[in-house]
Amino acid sequence: MKITIEPAEKIRGRIKVPGDKSISHRALLFSALTENNVEIEGLLKAEDTLSTQNCLAELGVEFKENGSKLLVKGKGLRGLEEPKDVLNAGNSGTTARLLAGLLAGQPFHSTLSGDSSLRGRPMQRVTEPLRLMGASINGRNNGCLLPLSIRGYDLLPINYALPVASAQVKSALLIAGLFSRGVSEIIDSYNTRDHTERALRYLGASINKPGKYHIRLEGPAKLYGERFRIPGDISAAAYFIVAAALAPQGELYIENVGINPTRTGILDVLIKMGAKVRILNEKEYNCEPAADLLIEGGRQLRGIEINGEMIPRLIDEIPILAVAALFAEGETIIRGAAELRIKESDRLKAMALELQKMGARVQELPDGLVIRGGAKLTGARCESHGDHRIAMALATAALFAEKESVISGAEVVRISFPGFFEVLSELST
């Protein structure tokens, strides 16, 4: 699918964005493991979260739609069923890695796979520590790549320091820890997003954080909950936040967005660059903070350096921050983001290549980008590289080019934000 983006003079309106993708995956998975039924409100309905739901259904979990809400009939830790077919995680790395942790604790055999893109993404970061806990896992390249064949056992607790900044690895080990007999301890020196810890605390697991980077979970656990209310996804909102900040005029109000501190690096960086962003009406749902956001346009941004501890808090937003940097005074340098090379695409390479087509001055680094602001963007024919975040970032950049742009492969936004282009059009016309 190709989409044409026309230049815009203003961004104005009031919107809601879809439910947070990370929280949606976890709400589905942990609700399935409760001892009762759980209602989920605000669930993201997109291809990635549907992959998680379909895999859980193959494991015997029952779901019932109730208007905009979803009722999940909990099976407890030991109530899942051996799947009759291969579990298909689609394009979702979160589905694959979190399910690996879940399946490691089950007393049956299962096979986990995904689409061609996911089958090329690294899995040894999850399979190696799960093997240390006692799970039997085989797969391509000695278990480094999907498909994975998993035979669960009674798991041992683990004491493990994350070697990479990955909330998915941390979550997989915490999920496996629910089935172990003893205390698992995870050292997360990267301070990655903590949605799993918050969900488990909400559901009554014995989990605490005795130190800044130290997580302690006691298993086996019994989980109980009644309702997950999922706030809007700040990663989905990021494209509109940047668009509003870059627009010569306008004002954008975004309702009920998650502001988990491990995810708000995008707001901190934009404010540091000079954007006017206000956080209003703060609240909390199931241990997750949320608020409304007000963004005003007409501000001149300035280039900054983005690195170090900032990176895990905005890893998904680096493509759209690269767009913001195009219109900032001076130079923006992004370092420490090599993880972006093994996402749905090589996001560093893809953003450099596609923005250069539009006339941007972007230099690719081994672990980041150097963006020199001030170049006028021309319309161009761009490619999504099969990556939803690349497609949405390029569409945002195209709003501020001198002529229209065409993005091929735009249908990929269905992975996380099916109505993205409709919302973008409403705000920019």
Taking CA 324 as the corner, what is the angle to CA 322 and CA 325, rounded to the nearest 5 degrees? 65
Q: 129 and 169 in contact (C-beta within 8 Å)?
A: yes
Contacts of 312 (CB under 8 A, 6+ apart): 165, 167, 190, 191, 192, 193, 262, 265
Q: Is 55 left (phi over 0), alpha (psi -120 to 50) or beta?
A: alpha
316 is a catalytic site residue: yes
What's the order of all strands across the beta sheet hosting 13-16?
13-16, 251-258, 288-296, 276-285
C-alpha distances in Å from residue 35, one per residue of 72, 78, 108, 117, 196: 11, 10, 20, 35, 18
What gap in Å lies between CA 132 and CA 404, rounded to an integer?
Answer: 54
**Sheet strands side by side (includes 331-334):** 305-306, 331-334, 368-372, 361-365
Query: Measuring CA to CA, which residue among 39, 60, 80 is closest to residue 225?
Result: 39
Q: In the chain, count H helices and then E strands.
A: 13, 23
Task: Return the structure tokens found at 353.
Answer: 């290549």
Locate 342 and state its tokens.
């093994």
* Both structure tokens of 363: 């230099």
> With contact defined as beta carbons under 8 Å apart, do 278 and 253 qualify?
no
> What span, in angstroms and rounded, lies between the C-alpha atoms of 97 and 374?
41
d(CA 309, CA 190) in angstroms, rounded, equals 7
Side-by-side strand order, sheet with 206-211: 159-161, 182-187, 214-219, 206-211
Cα Rg of the chain (Å, integer): 21
Other C-beta atoms within 10 Å of 418: how many? 15
CB 178 within 8 A of CB 33: yes
Q: Of the residues 48, 188, 194, 316, which is catalytic?
A: 316
| Residues tagged active-site | 316
